[in-house]
Amino acid sequence: MNASDLLWPGFAEKVPLPQPDVEGGIPLMQALQRRRTTREISTSDIPLGMVSNLLWAASGINRREDHRRTAPTARNQQEIDVYVSTAKGLYLYEPRNHSLRLHVAADVRAQTGLQEFVAQVPVNLIYVADLARMREVQIENREFYAAVDTGFISQNVYLFCAAFGLATVVRGWLDRATLADTLRLRPEQRIMVAQSVGWPLA
Ligand SMILES: Cc1cc2nc3c(=O)[nH]c(=O)nc-3n(C[C@H](O)[C@H](O)[C@H](O)COP(=O)(O)O)c2cc1C
């Protein structure tokens, strides 16, 4: 069985992800040509191997020696956490061991945005900034840099989706207070934007 064929295990406390395949995709210029927002997204699952590659592309570690990531962050504060909302639970992506940790054992997809499709798409990513982690950034600059840093992650996801035939839409239209409750966030944690990912509707 190919890693990309692995299916999502249900509500597991910890989901180790297959090693990311860093060889695949299409040339960068073609990915840029194909990058777009798509809101017509199928309800079909994405195989675990593809989720693994998606998360690594989003914000995984690409330099083991110092744990730096595929997306830059101001002063390398690495303050953006990626939560993954699926039919089989809400998980936190842990880049250091490239795995998912169960955060809420429920399908909370409907709470990840104010558009109808979010309840049915296979994956909603939620980008959460932990401002408390940004010790080397002046307090008045933290939210601004967190927003900039989120943009890089979101664009990585856009390009990954373009390269692998997936549909995606980044979303700022959220009920942040309700979602923050669901995610049990501390006051210093801020929901930046969410991003839905799935197969395009034919
Ligand atoms: C910060 C940000 C927030 C966005 N919020 C939403 C949203 O809540 N819902 C949505 O359907 N699209 C949202 N979009 C997608 C934009 O509408 C889309 O990027 C824009 O229309 C340009 O289309 P393109 O991405 O295909 O170039 C957002 C985009 C950005 C950058």
Atom of ligand 1 nearest to the CA of 113: 8
Phi and psi based region of residue 22 (left: phi greater than 0; alpha: psi -120 to 50; beta: remaining): alpha
pLDDT value of residue 104: 96
pLDDT value of residue 7: 64
171 lines ligand 1 (CB under 6 A): yes
Question: Would the pTM count as exceeding 0.85?
Answer: yes
Per the CB < 8 A criterion, the answer to whether 79 and 131 are in contact is yes
Question: E-assigned strands of the chain?
Answer: 14-16, 61-63, 68-69, 80-86, 89-94, 99-104, 123-130, 167-171, 189-198
Q: Tell me the per-residue pLDDT of 162-199, one tens digit each, with 9 for 90 and over.
A: 999 999 999 999 999 999 999 999 999 999 999 999 99
Nearest alpha carbon, ligand 1 atom 21: 37
Q: Tell me the per-residue pLDDT of 110-119, one tens digit each, with 9 for 90 and over.
A: 999 999 999 9
CA of 122 to the centre of ligand 1 (A): 19
Low pLDDT (below 50) residues in the chain: 1, 3-4
Pocket test for ligand 1, best of 169, 193, 197 (most atoms within 8 A of CB): 169
193 lines ligand 1 (CB under 6 A): yes
pLDDT value of residue 6: 60
